[in-house]
Amino acid sequence: MNPRPDDFQLIDEIAGSAEISRLTTTWSNPSGFWARLSNVDHKIIGRRYIITAFVFLALGGLLSLAMRLQLSQPEARFISADRYNQLFTMHGSNMMFLFAVPVMEAMAVFLVPLMVGTRNIAFPRLNAFSYWLFVAGGLLLWGAFLIDMGPDVGWFAYVPLSGPQYASGKRADIWAQMITFTEISALCVAVEIVVTVFKQRAPGMSLDRIPLFVWSMVVTAFLIILAMPAIMVASTALILDRLVGTHFFNPAQGGDVLLWQHLFWFFGHPEVYIIFLPAVGMVSTIVATFARRPVFGYLGMVAALIATGMLAFGLWVHHMFVAGLPRLGESFFTASSMAIAVPAGIQIFCWLATLWDGRPVFKTPLLFVIGFIVTFVMGGLTGVMVASVPFDTQVHDTYFVVAHFHYVLIGGAVFPLLGAVYYWFPKITGRMMSERLGRVVFWLVFVGFHMTFFPMHILGVMGMPRRVYTYQPELPWAALNLFVSLSSVVLALGFLVFFIDVIRSARSGAPAGPNPWQAFSLEWATASPPPPYNFVHIPVVESREPLWMQRDHFPVAEGVRFDRRELIVSGVVAAEPQARESSVGHSIWPFWAAVTTSIMLVWSIFSPWAVVWGSIPVAITLIGWFWPKGTPEDEA
């Protein structure tokens, strides 16, 4: 069970240099402008996805600093009420739809194919398409904000506020259509992840040998598949109400406003787990590597992931306690809100047991994990508090809630994510990040975070509502608000140092080698950064921690062709090889399909006919995409 003390270095002498050069040609990533737009390598797209999502994090962070500036003193005049409405809506929507969900999927796009030992993600062109659509959605939201058309109805855009009577102009439509962009792209990635994990696992990687991060991404992908259609139905209905006069949410004509809330939270609550479960997978990975032993209770962990995923759908109503529901309904949802604490508890105890029994090495990634456990437990406690209807009624729509969900989102997802960046950065770039700066980042972010958000609980109990652009000097909130605003500068500083470290290390960090942490899973069984084909030979898996078990030999599969893009397709349960399937090559069509789709979607904010005329170019680009080009990959 114990890892090898020396560095893992795989020597692959089976392939001669002629063969490797053929592999390199087949899987090459050509440079040049159009070639870059055509690229379908999951590592290149994953890297772009990660970087873009972090750019949105930085932009969303700037918005929150602007809000904190405005709230730092009573009756400040930095920002007008209207602009403030746009700020919190932009901040919330940007963070949820352009940062948190995409960044988790982006990590999976990069890592999952490597962790399951295959050459590329399933449906590589869909992957490229989803990235371009994500970018387009981001440009739409931020472009609108720049011309003072940013949405101002809150990140969940409740009707009637967002409906045709109260939200004139196109601001609410921008929000609704941004949803369409990001959800399509998220759904595409979810499908790719499911199929990659079901069908492209390395021979021998049976279900009980799948790394926990991969498990967490599979459960997440299913949550996306089952939850996101709800918000697509909701946002479509909203656009229809606003554009062509339907009455889904108009009580005067038989519609209903609570319908919006049900649809939104049927998506919105699983959304929290869509962000949180990948983080759980990251934590399990980091804990095992730095505790130097496999995670305690693997099966329990997998069961907890699945249970969390299922319970996530029983929780949506707890966002609507104050909306007035039948008593029994309230009790049911209170019970299930509390039940979700059980799998969360199991996971936390498994991590603690792993650390307890292992020989923990406190590198930066593990520091973030410790920060995560502390913060998340606190966020979970306030979560159990607001799960009780009487208490929720009291603090509803106050800063207590703002504090609670930032504890869960930043503590529960951003901390693990930062740890994950420190952990996988060497694999992605081939270079180490700085341990010294890493500690500085951790302490600034951790302390800055608690100083910023803990007082918000108190502000909430003192009655400060969320989404107010200012408050009167007579109210007893000024001192705490000033403290919060100053603390948010500390937090921001932490992120600044993080970005500096990332850029500096990418240029001149110490070379990492294939497996700098002596970790256990397959992504470390190849060079850093991995070559375009990922592995010279597709690995064969004989245990749950392949790099910790094998002593002097590393089993691989032979017989995959090197002169076309080929990989192994395997069975869902036991991962026995079934076929040598080809994997499509680079293509510009996904880019054009994303362009035409974007034109149609943006146009349809203004005219329903866009759906008719705009879909013609979409169809043309899709046909161009799927029409066979007679490449060797088309052989069967």
Partner 1 sequence: MKAVVTVDVADLPLHGSGSKSPSWWGTAAFMLIEGTGFALALVVYFYLMSVAPTWPLEAKLPDLLPGTVLTLILLASLLPNIWVARAAKRNDLRKVRIGLILMTVAGIAPLAVRPFEFAAMHIKWDGNAYGSVTWLLLGLHTTHLVTDLIETIVLSCLMFTRHGDNPRRYGDVQDNAMYWNFVVLTWLPIYVSLYWVPRL
Does residue 30 bind partner 1 (CB under 8 A)?
A: no
Dist CA 331 CA 317 (whole Å): 11
Residue 406's closest CA among 452, 361, 461, 470? 452
| 91, 199, 457, 565: residue in contact with partner 1 (rule CB under 8 A) | 199
**Which residues within the stretch 578-597 sit at the binding site for partner 1 (CB under 8 A)?**
578-582
**Which residues within the stretch 117-176 sit at the binding site for partner 1 (CB under 8 A)?**
122-123
Dist CA 32 CA 38 (whole Å): 10
| 23, 53, 79, 100: residue in contact with ligand HEM (rule CB under 6 A) | 100
Does residue 310 bind partner 1 (CB under 8 A)?
A: no
Does residue 269 bind ligand HEM (CB under 6 A)?
A: no
Provide, rounded to whole angstroms, the least separation between the CB of residue 510 and ligand HEM: 29
CA angle 221–388–326, rounded 5-degree value: 85
Dist CA 403 CA 484 (whole Å): 11
Does residue 205 bind partner 1 (CB under 8 A)?
A: no
49's tokens? 């996805």
474's tokens? 């007579």
Does residue 325 bind partner 1 (CB under 8 A)?
A: no
Residue 160 interacting partner from ligand HEM, partner 1, none (CB closer than 5 to 8 Å by kind) = none
CA angle 108–114–120, rounded 5-degree value: 85
Which region, judged by CB under 8 A, interacts with partner 1, from 257-265, 337-345, 406-414, 484-492? 257-265
Dist CA 61 CA 46 (whole Å): 22
| 66, 225, 374, 486: residue in contact with partner 1 (rule CB under 8 A) | 225
Does residue 154 bind ligand HEM (CB under 6 A)?
A: yes
Does residue 253 bind partner 1 (CB under 8 A)?
A: yes
Does residue 64 bind ligand HEM (CB under 6 A)?
A: yes
Provide, rounded to whole angstroms, the least separation between the CB of residue 547 and partner 1: 8
Peptide bond preceding 160 in cis form (omega within 30 of 0): yes
Does residue 174 bind ligand HEM (CB under 6 A)?
A: no
Which region, judged by CB under 6 A, interacts with ligand HEM, from 94-102, 131-139, 253-261, 317-325? 94-102
Whose tokens are 């920002």? That residue is 79
Does residue 628 bind partner 1 (CB under 8 A)?
A: yes
Dist CA 607 CA 490 (whole Å): 46
Identify the helix (H) or strand (E) that includes residue 580: strand 577-582
Does residue 89 bind ligand HEM (CB under 6 A)?
A: yes
Whose tokens are 């229809």? That residue is 240
- Cα distances from 337 to residues 319, 342, 462, in angstroms, run 10, 10, 25
3-class DSSP state for residue 582? strand
Which region, judged by CB under 8 A, interacts with partner 1, from 284-292, 493-501, 589-597, 620-628? 620-628
Whether residue 40 contacts residue 125, with contact meaning beta carbons closer than 8 Å, is answered with: yes
Dist CA 329 CA 317 (whole Å): 9
**Which residues within the stretch 424-443 sit at the binding site for partner 1 (CB under 8 A)?**
none
Does residue 201 bind partner 1 (CB under 8 A)?
A: no
Residue 263 interacting partner from partner 1, ligand HEM, none (CB closer than 5 to 8 Å by kind) = partner 1
**Which residues within the stretch 65-124 sit at the binding site for partner 1 (CB under 8 A)?**
122-123
Dist CA 208 CA 441 (whole Å): 36
Residue 355's closest CA among 297, 303, 307? 297
Residue 67 interacting partner from ligand HEM, partner 1, none (CB closer than 5 to 8 Å by kind) = ligand HEM
Q: With respect to partner 1, which residue has the nearer C-beta, 260 or 469?
A: 260
104's tokens? 């988790």
Provide, rounded to whole angstroms, the least separation between the CB of residue 194 and partner 1: 6
Peptide bond preceding 529 in cis form (omega within 30 of 0): yes
Peptide bond preceding 473 in cis form (omega within 30 of 0): no
534's tokens? 């990922």
Q: With respect to ligand HEM, which residue has the nearer C-beta, 53 or 567?
A: 53
Whether residue 534 contacts residue 583, with contact meaning beta carbons closer than 8 Å, is answered with: no
Q: With respect to ligand HEM, which residue has the nearer C-beta, 410 or 525?
A: 410
**Which residues within the stretch 374-403 sit at the binding site for ligand HEM (CB under 6 A)?**
402
Residue 395: CB partners within 8 Å, gap ≥ 6?
A: 386, 401, 460, 461
Does residue 67 bind ligand HEM (CB under 6 A)?
A: yes
| 107, 239, 410, 497: residue in contact with ligand HEM (rule CB under 6 A) | 410
**Which residues within the stretch 262-281 sit at the binding site for partner 1 (CB under 8 A)?**
262-263, 266
Residue 410 interacting partner from partner 1, ligand HEM, none (CB closer than 5 to 8 Å by kind) = ligand HEM
Site mask for partner 1 (CB under 8 A), range 35-64, x = bound: ------------------------------
| HEC profile of 161-183 | CCCCCCCCCCHHHHHHHHHHHHH
Whose tokens are 């590198």? That residue is 363
Residue 635 interacting partner from ligand HEM, partner 1, none (CB closer than 5 to 8 Å by kind) = partner 1
Dist CA 38 CA 455 (whole Å): 49
Residue 96's closest CA among 315, 283, 276, 305? 276
Which region, judged by CB under 6 A, interacts with ligand HEM, from 178-186, 206-214, 225-233, 405-413? 405-413
Provide, rounded to whole angstroms, the least separation between the CB of residue 453 and ligand HEM: 8
Residue 557 interacting partner from partner 1, ligand HEM, none (CB closer than 5 to 8 Å by kind) = partner 1
Residue 121's closest CA among 19, 30, 46, 36? 46
Residue 246 interacting partner from ligand HEM, partner 1, none (CB closer than 5 to 8 Å by kind) = partner 1
Does residue 5 bind partner 1 (CB under 8 A)?
A: no
Site mask for partner 1 (CB under 8 A), range 516-555, x = bound: --------------------xx--x---------xxxxxx
| 3, 46, 92, 343: residue in contact with ligand HEM (rule CB under 6 A) | 92
Identify the helix (H) or strand (E) that includes residue 581: strand 577-582
Identify the helix (H) or strand (E) that includes residue 566: strand 566-570
Residue 95 interacting partner from partner 1, ligand HEM, none (CB closer than 5 to 8 Å by kind) = ligand HEM
Does residue 406 bind ligand HEM (CB under 6 A)?
A: yes
CA 544, 196, 52, 515 torsion: positive or negative?
positive
Count residues near ligand HEM (CB under 6 A): 23
Provide, rounded to whole angstroms, the least separation between the CB of residue 133 and partner 1: 15
Which region, judged by CB under 6 A, interacts with ligand HEM, from 29-37, 86-94, 195-203, 323-331? 86-94
Whether residue 23 contacts residue 562, with contact meaning beta carbons closer than 8 Å, is answered with: yes
CA 311, 317, 321, 324 torsion: positive or negative?
negative
Does residue 95 bind ligand HEM (CB under 6 A)?
A: yes
Site residues, ligand HEM (CB under 6 A): 61, 64, 67-68, 88-89, 91-92, 95-96, 100, 154-155, 402, 406, 409-410, 414, 452, 466-467, 488, 491
